[in-house]
Structure 1
C-alpha cells in the first residue's frame, strides 16, 4: 500500500486515507474539494474527521457517501464548493472490494490474470449538489497480483505547453507498463512522468494517488 498527496499551493483540497477496522476490513478513501483555499482545506479536514468517526458504524460505502452528502450539503452550498470522493472497502479474507463514488475519477484495477486494466466508475453525484441522493455501490473480487490505483483529477488534467491533457489513457499505459513496481515506487514513477509531460516541477492542481497491491496470504 502506498500513497502521496502533493498540494498545488500551501493549502490544498486533496485528501486520502486508509483505515483498518476492528473486523480486519481495510477502507480506502480519496477525495478532492474544489478550490485551493483555507475554506477547502477546512472542509477536507472535517470530511476526514467525519469519515474516521463513522466508517466503523456505516459498513457500506454508499451509506457513508449518503451521510457525507447530507452532512455537508448546506455548508458546501453556502461556500460554493463541492467534493468528489471515491470510497472503497477491502475484505482480505475474501479479497472482495465494495466501492462507491461521488463523481470522482474512476479507480483503475490492473488485473494480473488477464493482463488488462479495468475501470471502476459507479454512478454518483458530487457531494454538495443535491441534498438527497442515493449512491450506487458495486463490488469486485480481486486476485493475487492485482493492483488498485486511486487518484485525483490533478493527475489526468495536467497540461503540457500545447494545452494537451495528460489524460486517463496515458495513466492506463503507465499502469500497464509498470505494474510490477512496488506501490510507492509506482506512485513516484507516475508523478515523475506527469512532471515530464507538463514541463513543470510544480503542479497547477493538487495531485494525489493511492496504490494497493493484492499479495499472497
Structure 2
C-alpha cells in the first residue's frame, strides 16, 4: 500500500460521520440481499404442490430445505381424469443457480405433462432441453417422472440419476422398488438406458414413496446403500400410520440419524391409491 493509500484509509476511519454512513449503506445492502433471498425462497416454495385429497388418490408432500434456496422441485398434476403425474428433481449444488434451474425445470415439465407424454419421453425431452441450453454450465440433476393410471391401477416410472420410488403395502412394508434406469440429466446428449421406463401393478391401499438421493444420504452420508436400506425400514415402520402422518414420522426418524445439522435439504412425496 502506498503512503497515499494509507492516508486515504486513515482519513476514512478518522471521519466518524463517513464511517457511520458506510456502515448504514452496508447494512442496507445486506437487508436488501436478505429480502431478495427470502422473496426468491417464497417464489420457489409456491411452485411446490400442497397435499392433495382426491377421490382416487391421496398425495402428501414434504419439503425441508437446509438453505434459503435449493434445487429441489416436485410436481403433482392430473392432466386427465384417469392420470396422476408425479415428478421430482434435485439440481446439484446450493444457492441461487440450482433454484433458478429447478424453477425452469418446473415450467418445462408442466408442458410435457399437459401433453400427456409417457415418463421416459418426459425424461428424454427434459434432458435434451437442459443439455441444449445449459451444457457447459456444469449443471446436472436427478429426476423422476411417474404416471399413475387411476383406472387400471398401474404406475409407469422413469428415473434419471439418483431417484427412487418405494412401493409399500400394509402391513408388509416395502414390496417393491423402482430405481432409476437412466443417466443423470444434463451431462450428455442422450441419457436414456436400454429399459428407460418400467410398469408396476398397484392395489387399492398401496402407497408410493418418492424421493431423490438426498434423503438416504441424510441417513448415512458415507454409504448410500446403507442409507436406502435404513430408509426402507423407516418407511415400513411408518406405513401403518395415516398417509398424512407418514412423511412426518419418516422425516422425524431421519433427523435422528444426523451427526449434527443436516447438510442437504430433502423432498418427500407419499401417495396412497384408493
Q: Please, what TM-score do these two structures have when normalized by structure 2?
A: 0.72
Shift in CA distance, 63/145, structure 1 to aligned 2, threshold 3 Å: same
Superposed CA deviations along residues 100-140 of structure 1, whole A, max 9, x for unmatched, are: 01113321111348654311014101101111233501101
State the 1:191 CA deviation: 1.0
Helix, strand or coil: the match of 2:143?
Answer: strand
- Partner SS for 2:235: helix
2:166 to 99, 103, 108: 108
Cα distance in 2 for partners of 1:85, 1:25 equals 19
Q: Where in structure 2 are there 5+ consecutive unaligned residues?
A: 1-58
In structure 1, the partner of 2:213 is 153
- Larger Rg over CA atoms: 2
Aligned equivalent of 2:270: 211
Higher helix fraction: Structure 1 or Structure 2?
A: 2
Structure 1 match to 2:68? 10
Residues 181 and 192, structure 2, Cα contact 8 Å, conserved in 1: no
Count residues in correspondence. Answer: 213
TM-score, normalising length: structure 1: 0.90
Q: Deviation digits for residues 71-102 of structure 1, max 9, x if unmatched?
A: 11144332201010011011111111111011
Task: Tell me the distance in 1 between the aligned counterparts of 2:110 and 2:161.
Answer: 21
Q: Which residue of 1 aligns with 2:77?
A: 19
The change in CA–CA distance for 1:74 and 1:59 in structure 2 (over 3 A counts) is: closer
**Higher relative contact order (Cα pairs below 8 Å, separated by 6+ residues):** 1
1:79 aligns with one of 127, 137, 156: 137
- The runs of at least 4 aligned residues of structure 1 exceeding 3 Å deviation read 111-116, 162-166
The Cα of 1:59 is off from its aligned counterpart by: 2.2
Find the counterpart in structure 1 of residue 127 from structure 2: 69
Superposed CA RMSD: 2.1
